[in-house]
Amino acid sequence: MTNHFEKRVDPVKLVPGAKTVISVLLNYYPSQYPLHSDVPKVSKYAYGKDYHYTVRGKLKQLFDFIKENIYPELEGRWFVDSAPVLDRAWAVRSGLGWIGKNTNLINKKWGSFVFIGELIVNLELREEAEEVRNACGTCTRCIDACPTGAITEPYIIDANRCISYLTIENKDDIPDEFKGKFDNWVFGCDICQDVCPWNSKPIPTNEPDFKPSEQFRKMTIEDWVDLNEEKFDELFRQTPLERTGFNGLKRNINFLFQK
């Protein structure tokens, strides 16, 4: 996060001539789940196609629509987790929600199971969005539910204890101190979101790209334990699980099942 700090806080350094950040959200809460409840768990955002492709495509459509129908002089770029952009901060400034105690953006309608994207453009818009008041109140469910103690205090995450970090970004062995604390998560973790009251009435997405494949839904424990590289490529090509790679996923599976 310290890399390219100046570009993170000043979009003009990222997109010369920029005057406006247009933030958007896309709901990804799944309409279908794996058929077997005892299998390793995958974070909901990773059930279907890699969201970078989907959100980026929709942002380009929005950009083209504005350029063709409203502002022919439009110039700029679109982003989704693909550059040093402070997505959550810009989403808050745009009135799309507030940052919860688990550090996720929370929207009053959609909860926190949303992807964030931006258009950074030369279009000068009058700022009308009002920032949404933080509505977490005294609730500490996300903090209390984290099995590894990664939310050390409200709005502070120790990444080295976060299951999402340990199963995805982490390139080393998972420390033994976390044995028995992963609650069967093999890629990512949704615990702090699942317990959030703002996610108690989720609205399933209608985006077909985020629908899990039938092969993925039917996986059994044996399928996970016996997963080989060929099957990994077949099941998870162009999905978020590609990020951890076959070796990383096998490490996670072995961590869950080896005593």
What are the residue numbers of the active site? 81
What is residue 155's DSSP assignment? Answer: T
What is residue 183's DSSP assignment? Answer: T
C-beta of residue 44 within 8 angstroms of C-beta of residue 19: no
Residue 93 tokens, joined: 């400034």
Handedness of CA 94, 96, 99, 105 (dihedral sign): negative
103: left (phi over 0), alpha (psi -120 to 50) or beta: left
Helix ranges (H only) for the chain are 5-9, 51-69, 87-93, 141-145, 163-164, 191-194, 214-217, 221-225, 229-236, 245-257
